[in-house]
Amino acid sequence: MSNETSVKIYGINGPVVTVESNDVLKMSEMVYVGNENLIGEVIGIGDDYSIIQVYESTTGIRPGEPVTTTGRSMSLKLGPGIVSNIFDGILRPLLRIKEESGAFIDRGINIDALDHERLFDVTVKVEKGQKVKSGDIFCTCPETPLIEHRCMVPNGIEGEVVDVVPNGQYNVDTEIIKVKTPSGDIVAIPMWQEWPIRIPRPFEKRIPIDTPLITGQRVIDTLFPIAKGGCAAIPGGFGTGKTMTQHQLAKWCDADIIVYVGCGERGNEMTQVLDEFSELIDPKSNEKLTNRTVLIANTSNMPVAAREASIYTGITLGEFYRDMGYHVAIMADSTSRWAEALREISGRLEEMPAEEGYPAYLPSRLAAFYERAGFVHALSGMDGSVSIIGAVSPQGGDFSEPVTQNTQRFTRCFWALDKQLAYARHYPSINWLQSYSEYFTDLAPWFSEKVNEKFASYRTRLMALLQEESRLMEIVKLIGGDFLPDDQKLIIEIARVIRVGFLQQNAFHASDTYVPLEKQYKMMEIIVYLYNAALELVGMSVPMSVILGSGLFESLIKIKYDVPNDQIELIDGYKTQIDEFVEKTKKEYANI
């Protein structure tokens, strides 16, 4: 692959560098720019001049300096040692950059993503004489206490295994097996492989999505669930809690691996994830959360071209682990910053802008990104999935802007964050009237089988009550609440229980930060139970003040704090209380 040539820099404009064209330059090829060997990518080839976007600051580069081509497209080295690490947008390990250049990132540091010194405890899975094809797993090794890394035969290689090493301690460069291809070449395969970031990894076939990604967040799991292999968008203005929601999902969702892409966001947020995840213990495995997390941090002050790449880096990692048979969830925070990076580069190229200055190809880029999610039967024979949860930061919180609108077209789950809810510190501030999940119908059979057959009907009931409340609130805003008939007052009261006691969830409360589906269902059930009981009383002309005086509404609101997650059966006690109250009141009013 060494068709390295060198061309000369002609012009420089921010991250965009023009070079004199030659016949060797390829589109999307990775190049080294200038004397400092900054990493860049070819994004346009013209008659006289070709265009390169540079992933680092271009200060100090001179026209005439060389640009070295590599012949390879912009690709990542994938292998064990990635999980639990933190990288920049083009997969350079930030911890090792820190060792090399201190607290600030210098330019032109080319450190490989993988640690070549570290030894892994390798178990070889194939034997001499066995036939292997692309995607087959030939060896495994523990990557973290949680994740077993499964090394796969790289794409395009198949044949007969002619040599294997015995099980033992090896570094990533060790050639574990040698394969004789049909054409007679012997190919040695190390533990790593390369993959171009802009090309989706192949798989056997897609399989229908029917399993939810359980997040432990009531408003998501119960009202607007996302499927494993699905896509969700979280749009919201600043301060509405996008990042908090992403953090909660990254902490508690039941994926095997989390890829957290901090794309053009705050540095301190990434530090927080690093700090917090290394202390938090995953309740299912009793291991540290970092052991299942990969962080891609391309903060807002890091070079803009690398920000554009960081999203692809994240999804490529996701697909790589999906192919090993894992369920991967990708948190992309925020896709708007990525779109802005596209716009910035497009502007420097003087392309014709479409809506709000974004390039006309924005929708197709977004679609291509979200289509890389899915639940698949991989080449390795295992089933795995990639789910994408993308935050969107619309300017001025206005959902009609192009990034939100286009994202909405390509995702089937929409969690709209609401400024008013955030102002009242109602978190997660997911607006229940604007949000939707098209996955619910696909997932309903799972819920009725694994949780309770009444799950879907209770959910519909909750949604209907909330809808009805919003209609009544329009009236209350005009005439005040006191003038409503009692059955409508009841709807407003029960909706308050749903909003405060169910939808609102406290991320800082030990038992409320993650709620198992079982408890979510029970809470929903008891709320509907109270509503039905109260409705019966209202029908007997029992005044609302008496019903509210029972204190049942307040105690239901506090179930989330008062009933620990391991004593869900306590909720049945509330049922008895409701029954007793209904009995007592019925007797009193039957006499009147």
Partner 1 sequence: MNIEYLGLSEINGPLIAIDNVKGASFEEMVEIAVDGGEKRMGRIVQMYGDKAIVQVFEGTSGLSRKNTRAHFTGKPMEMPVSRELLGRVFDGAGRPIDGLGEIFAEKRVDVNGKPINPAARTYPRNYIRSGISTIDALSTIIRGQKLPIFSGAGMPHDQLAVQIVKQAQIMGSGEESNEDFAIVFAAMGVKNDVADYFRRSFEESGVLERVSMFLNLSNDPIVERILTPLCALTAAEYLAFDLGMQILVIMTDMTSYAEALREFSSSKGEIPGRKGYPGYLYSNLATLYERAGIIQGSKGSITQIPILTMPNDDITHPVPDLTGYITEGQIVLDRTLDQSGIYPPISVLPSLSRLMKDGIGEGFTREDHPPLSNQLFSAYAKVMDARSLASVIGADELSENDKKYLEFGRQFEERFVTQGINENRTTEYSLDLGWDLLSLLPESELDRIDKELLAKYYKKQNTTQPRSDA
Residues numbered 558 to 587 that lie near partner 1 (CB under 8 A) are: 558, 561
- Provide the 10 A C-beta neighbour count for residue 90: 24
Is 471 an interacting residue with respect to partner 1 (CB under 8 A)?
no
Distances from the Cα of 538 to the Cα of 6, 152, 479, 499, angstroms:
84, 66, 22, 22
Which residue, 163 or 356, is less far from partner 1 as judged by CB? Answer: 356
The stretch near partner 1 (CB under 8 A) out of 112-120, 283-291, 395-403, 440-448 is 395-403
Taking the least distance from each CB to partner 1, the nearer of 209 and 273 is 273
- Nearest residue (CB) to partner 1, 212 versus 394: 394
Cβ contacts of 146 within 8 Å, gap of 6 or more: 83, 256, 282, 285, 287, 291, 292
Using the rule CB under 8 A, is 270 a contact of partner 1? yes
CB of 373 to partner 1, least distance (A): 25
**Long-range CB contact pairs, 402-407, < 8 A, 24+:** 402/339, 402/354, 402/355, 402/356, 402/358, 402/362, 403/335, 403/336, 403/339, 403/358, 403/362, 403/366, 404/233, 404/235, 406/362, 406/363, 406/366, 406/367, 407/233, 407/235, 407/335, 407/366, 407/370
Total number of residues that touch partner 1 (CB under 8 A): 78
Residues 133-192 within binding reach of partner 1 (CB under 8 A): none
Asked if 46 and 168 touch (Cβ cutoff 8 Å), the reply is no
DSSP assignment, residue 366?
H
- Told to check if 12 binds partner 1 by CB under 8 A, we report yes
Judged by CB under 8 A, the stretch of 67-75, 151-159, 441-449, 555-563 that binds partner 1 is: 555-563
Contacts with partner 1 in 100-129 (CB under 8 A)?
101-106
CB of 23 to partner 1, least distance (A): 21
Could you give the count of Cα atoms lying within 13 Å of 281 in the half-sphere of its Cβ?
6
433 binds partner 1 (CB under 8 A): no
State yes or no: residue 400 binds partner 1 (CB under 8 A).
no
Name the segment binding partner 1 (CB under 8 A); options: 134-142, 213-221, 224-232, 293-301: 293-301
What part of residues 204-243 is at the interface with partner 1 (CB under 8 A)? 237-239
Q: Which stretch binds partner 1 (CB under 8 A): 195-203, 264-272, 360-368, 517-525?
A: 264-272
Which x/- pattern, by CB under 8 A, does the window 60-99 give for partner 1?
xxxxx---------------------x-------xx-xx-
Q: Is 271 in the site for partner 1 (CB under 8 A)?
A: yes
The interface mask with partner 1, positions 327-366, x = CB under 8 A, is ----------x--xx-xx--x--x--x--xx---------
Residue 554 is a binding residue for partner 1 (CB under 8 A): yes
Place of tokens 């299942």: 292
272 binds partner 1 (CB under 8 A): yes
**How far, in Å, CA of 444 to CA of 451, rounded?**
10
Query: How many angstroms separate the CA atoms of 289 and 269, rounded?
Result: 16
> Rounded to an integer, what is the distance from CA 320 to the centroid of its chain?
15
| Nearer Cβ to partner 1 (159/402) | 402
String of DSSP letters for 417-451? B-HHHHHTT-SS-B-TTT-EETTHHHHHHHHHHHT
Q: Which residues, 375 to 394, sit near partner 1 by CB under 8 A?
A: 393
Q: Which residue, 85 or 144, has its beta carbon nearer to partner 1?
A: 85
Closest CB to partner 1 among residues 478, 592: 478
- Give whichever of 188 and 510 is closer to partner 1, judged by the CB atom: 510
What is the SS3 string spanning 287-353?
CEHHHHEEEEEECCCCCHHHHHHHHHHHHHHHHHHHHCCCEEEEEEECHHHHHHHHHHHHHHCCCCE
Q: Which stretch binds partner 1 (CB under 8 A): 150-158, 447-455, 554-562, 563-571?
A: 554-562
Q: Which of 30, 1, 44 has the alpha carbon at shortest distance from 110?
A: 30
- Residues linked to residue 78 through DSSP beta bridges, in sequence order: 193
Give dist(CA 509, CA 329) in Å, integer: 24
Site string for partner 1, 18-47 (x = CB under 8 A): x-----------------------------
Kindly give the pairing relationship between strand 374-377 and strand 205-206: antiparallel
Q: Rounded distance, CA 536 to CA 582, Å?
A: 9
Nearer to partner 1 (CB atom), residue 302 or residue 378 = 302
Dihedral through CA 401, CA 407, CA 412, CA 414, nearest 10?
A: -50
User: Between residue 301 and residue 320, which ones bind partner 1 under the rule CB under 8 A?
Assistant: 301-302, 304
Q: Name the residue nearer to partner 1 (CB basis): 200 or 347.
A: 347
In this structure, what DSSP letter does residue 17 have?
E
Q: Which of 212, 262, 314, 374: binder of partner 1 (CB under 8 A)?
A: 262
For position 589 contacting partner 1 by CB under 8 A, the verdict is: no
Rule CB under 8 A: choose which of 299, 385, 404, 520 binds partner 1. Answer: 299
| Cα gap 344→416, rounded to integer Å | 27
What is the maximum alpha-carbon separation in the chain?
A: 100
Supply the Cα-derived Rg of the chain in whole angstroms: 28
Q: x-or-dash pattern for partner 1, window 487-516, by CB under 8 A?
A: -------------x-------x--------
Paired tokens of 424 = 């009242």
Q: How far is the CB of 239 from partner 1 (least distance, A)?
A: 5
- Smallest distance from the beta carbon of 183 to partner 1, in angstroms? 45
- Can you tell me which of 11, 381, 539, 543 binds partner 1, judged by CB under 8 A? 11
